[in-house]
Structure 1
Amino acid sequence: MKNEYRITYMKDTITINTINVYYESYVEEGREKPTIILIHGFLSSIFSFRKLMPLLTEHFHVYAIDLPPFGKSEKSRSFFYSFSTYSKLVASFCAKKKLSKVNIVGHSLGGQIAMHVAKTYPDLVNKLVLLCSSGYITRPSRKMLAASYIPFFKWYMKRKLAESGIRGNLMNVVYDKKIVNEELELGYVEPFLDEAIFDALLVMYRKLENHLISNELNQITTETLLIWGKEDRVTPLSVGKRLHKDLPNSKLIVYEKAGHLIPEEIPEKIVTDIKKMINLST
């Protein structure tokens, strides 16, 4: 008799190092499947994977995390917003969920965090998938960091984010402008309706370190797939090519007519590439 398995969808909050972290998961109990952890980018949330997650569930146990202070996770001023802290948060999440040998998919800033996890906890990570990952960005200058302590700086940050508006910002991260609709706008603007996020972003601005540099990337031996949109204006293809050169066990795939927000633009192609990488049949 054929076993009947059921995929359970869960959305919940878990406390990690005193911070409340929101996550969503699709887990098929009793069935052996690879596990995927999804890590979103800057000013984003789990919402950015809304098209990708359902496509992955047939072949993987899927977990997606809202990084503090984004999405529905806690917007704390006491959290130390650094790459090392974020990578520890991901590792602690896996420990609490008893996950091992996970495959991490990181988009934009999430890609940088994914690389930090692979570098710091190599035994935890099976394979990496970097979607238009950020790379080679340095911290703000001392002058800008000093300015961040001036009382009006939070207002300045809010103004910069609002200048082009949510629609303008979304238009900048996609190739096909037709996909920018009301649903997309509401999904990305919702976390910013909570005023606390701006205080947290100010702390993040002060704490986030430099991105990994070449000699550090050379130490990551995890098999890595880089997927890029050729028309990416946020992290240009040149960043992808440089990461491909610095990551010793990597492959780069580039898609025409795709921008930075490829989880929204080409989710089917991404899933196909991930399945091939992890040697799963269709």
Structure 2
Amino acid sequence: MASTNSHLASELFVFLHGFTQDGGVGGGGQIAKYIASLFHVSVEQPNLNQPSFNEFSISNAIKIIDKLYDEKQKQKNEHIKMNLIGASMGGYIAARYAEIYPDRVKKLFLLCPAFGLAARWREFLSDEDLNRWKTSGSYAYDGRQLHYGFFQDITENHPPYPQVSCPTSIVHGKSDRIIPIEASRKFIDEQKSKELIKLVEVDDDHYLTKSVFQIIPIVSQFLL
């Protein structure tokens, strides 16, 4: 393991959680723990719900990753590259971050990534609901209020399918009803560098709890 760690010295492993109030998401957290144990590295798990879940946005999440990257680079005093592991919304954020900062990201490992996000919300909410959200400024989601700035941000500032230029592995459940697997298939179709991306389709839902032991060897081989 020592030889493995030597080439990981200038790398940073970061797990980006999904769209939840507490940052938890199915099998994603278990995968993050496994990576930490396997590679004997710390896996950073920033809270993307800052300043609060009510004020969550993709742009704010990217700023949080920026801050983490800057802090770690100052500590190491050298250029570092990140391996981003993202679940659901965190998967989209990871890909978007890699599009904005290609020189900072080495690899992406994405679990049921939330591509095509704005269109998905439009399927979920009627035009009347969206207008009410815009007028009132907030929408009741999972027992909390979510500000309209979240939807405005994903429609105006972030593409549905970011372009990535680093090796990317995606695991997506074929029975995912929250983010259908077609979103990951379309993501690949939209890429200029399709050869860098691999999609593994598993018999599972959005949370991938039944597929953890199937995912472990995939992530191990990919990140080595």
Structure 2 length-normalised TM: 0.75
Q: Which residue of 2 aligns with 1:110?
A: 90
Once the two structures are TM-superposed, the CA of residue 131 in structure 1 deviates from its matched residue by 0.7
Once the two structures are TM-superposed, the CA of residue 42 in structure 1 deviates from its matched residue by 1.2
Once the two structures are TM-superposed, the CA of residue 130 in structure 1 deviates from its matched residue by 1.3
CA radius of gyration, larger in: 1
Once the two structures are TM-superposed, the CA of residue 148 in structure 1 deviates from its matched residue by 2.4
Matched, 1:233 2:212: no
Once the two structures are TM-superposed, the CA of residue 245 in structure 1 deviates from its matched residue by 2.0
Q: Which residue of 2 aligns with 1:147?
A: 132
The code of the aligned residue for 1:147 comes to R
Q: Which residue of 1 aligns with 2:20?
A: 43
- The correspondence for 1:260, drawn from 193, 206, 215, is 206
The code of the aligned residue for 1:65 comes to P
Matched, 1:91 2:72: no
Once the two structures are TM-superposed, the CA of residue 265 in structure 1 deviates from its matched residue by 3.2
Q: Which residue of 1 aligns with 2:140?
A: 157
Task: Calculate percent identity across the aligned residue pairs.
Answer: 22
Structure 1 length-normalised TM: 0.61
Distance 2:53 2:212 in 1: 32
Matched, 1:52 2:31: yes
Deviations 1:111-156 (A, max 9, x none): 11111110111111000111111112327688655422555x75x6
Matched, 1:68 2:76: no
Q: Which residue of 1 aligns with 2:103?
A: 123
Alpha-carbon distance change, 137 to 149 in structure 1, aligned in 2, over 3 angstroms: closer
Name which structure has the greater RCO, CA cutoff 8 Å, separation 6+: 2
Structure 1 residue runs without a partner (length 5+): 4-27, 163-197
Alpha-carbon distance change, 222 to 44 in structure 1, aligned in 2, over 3 angstroms: farther
Distance 1:272 1:34 in 2: 20
Alpha-carbon distance change, 115 to 266 in structure 1, aligned in 2, over 3 angstroms: same
Q: Give the secondary-structure state (helix, strand or coil) at the position aligned to 2:45.
A: strand
> How many pairs are equivalent?
201
Q: Give the secondary-structure state (helix, strand or coil) at the position aligned to 1:51.
A: helix
Structure 2 residue runs without a partner (length 5+): none
Distance 1:82 1:47 in 2: 17
The code of the aligned residue for 2:207 comes to L
Q: Give the secondary-structure state (helix, strand or coil) at the position aligned to 1:148.
A: helix
Structure with more helix by fraction: 2
Once the two structures are TM-superposed, the CA of residue 52 in structure 1 deviates from its matched residue by 2.3
Alpha-carbon distance change, 47 to 143 in structure 1, aligned in 2, over 3 angstroms: closer
Distance 1:233 1:145 in 2: 21
Distance 1:235 1:92 in 2: 28
8 Å Cα contact 2:58/2:150 also seen in 1: no
